[in-house]
Amino acid sequence: MQRLIYSLAFSSLLGMVGLVTAQPNESAPPLDLDSAIVKTLAGNPGLKATGYQLQIQDARIAQAGIKPRPKLELEVEDVFGSGANDILEGIQTTASVVWILERGVRESRVSAARARSSLIESDIAIQRLDVSAETARYYLESLDLQARLDISAEGIELGAAAVTAIERRVNAGSAPAADLFRARADLRRQELIEEDIEHELLSANYRLAAQWGANEPDFNRVLGDLLDTPAIENFATFESRLDQNPDLERYLTAERVYEAQLRLEQASNRQPWSVTTGFRWQNKTSDHGFVAGLSIPLGSEDSNRGRVAEARARITQSKLEREAERLRLRTELFVLYQELVHSAHLTAAIEQDILPLYESALEQTQAAYEAGRYSYLEWSASQMNLLNARNDLVEAAHSILHNLIEIERLTGVSVEVPRLSQ
């Protein structure tokens, strides 16, 4: 099974990767997603704890393979009786060794334990994929906030430029002082927005670093380009990969476990035999001899039929559950694919159609204000339109990559994304 989202590599919006988090550690290196995934798989506390499940199951396999010990039996007859058997005179002593013939039960027990080990390995693989996907989501959140921090910085630059231009007009008597008050208030609001994003980014980086057990971020920024997304394949291609979903694979592993359990229960129907061999000594005559015995349980070998029927029912249940799960996953894949296509269309429309128009509108509005034809309210509205469109672009690009991560988790196959040199 191919690794989950290892090929995704991002850098900040529009190639700007120099942003820092709140309270950054400038000596710390930037972080790419590949490194974040590797660190997660190596240091995630939950994965470390889960790894001991295999050691526990190995111990169970070893226990299942232990042979039953032979038993030493000592039998004394004709002792403390009367007449010839008075006290120890007529004592007969028999020493025997008893062996249990398991008739294939131990081999079936070991096979069932090994099958459960495969199920645990499947569960661990699923957990590794889940943890990797969660790391990718946190990484994407940090990348998104870095891009929004860029936009807030642009808003501050626009606001500061507006304050400077309005001050000149107010000093020249060609604009009312109210325009200057509004511009300064708008600038202050943009500064508060930047502070909010810095706090959110710091929290996002802490959540990301916690994925590999770090108490605080050991990086100063994450790398990637929100707009560097792959060409979207058709739905049929994604659907063909659905059978590689690790959760569906687990159902197949579970079926093998139930089949091994069925063989164990069928073997348990055959009750064990026991063979006895030993030596008998008669005290009165000093005679001795060899003794042997065979113990065979009576009755039909169907004492375990209830558990056999249960094991068969579990096999059928697992097959039906797998079919139901595949239908659910296909539906979820279809919904994610529709969102992916829509987000890609929205991203292209904002980037290619809407943003250029808002940029031109802002340029024209600013020139008109400085010429005295527009009010500051129109200039401010034009600035906000541009900033909102940039945030909409970030949100749409974020949605593309988020849906790709979810699709990759469903299919268990890496989505190819153009890589940046790190």
Angstrom distance (rounded) from CA 46 to CA 213: 9
pLDDT number for residue 306 = 72
The 3-state DSSP class for residue 31 equals strand
- The model's pLDDT over 83-136, given as tens digits with 9 standing for 90+, comes to 555 555 666 666 666 656 555 566 666 666 666 666 677 777 778 888 888 999
The per-residue pLDDT for range 63-92, each reduced to its tens digit, is: 665 666 776 776 766 666 555 555 556 666
Polymer length in residues for the chain:
422
Distance CA 368, CA 347 (A): 30
pLDDT value at 356 more than 90: yes
pLDDT score recorded for residue 276: 67
Please write the tens of the pLDDT for every residue from 395-405. Answer: 999 999 999 88
As a whole number, mean pLDDT of residues 311-332 equals 82
Predicted confidence band at 303 (pLDDT cuts at 50, 70, 90)?
A: low
Q: What is the pTM of this model?
A: 0.72
Average pLDDT, stretch 186-210? 95
In order of start, what are the domains of the chain with their CATH numbers?
13-67+102-269+304-411 (1.20.1600.10)
Mean pLDDT of 241-257: 72
Half-sphere exposure of 101 (CA within 13 A, CB side): 11
Q: Indicate if the pLDDT at residue 421 is higher than 50.
A: no
Nearest to 127, CA basis, from 34, 35, 206, 48: 48
- Residue with structure tokens 């797998």? 322
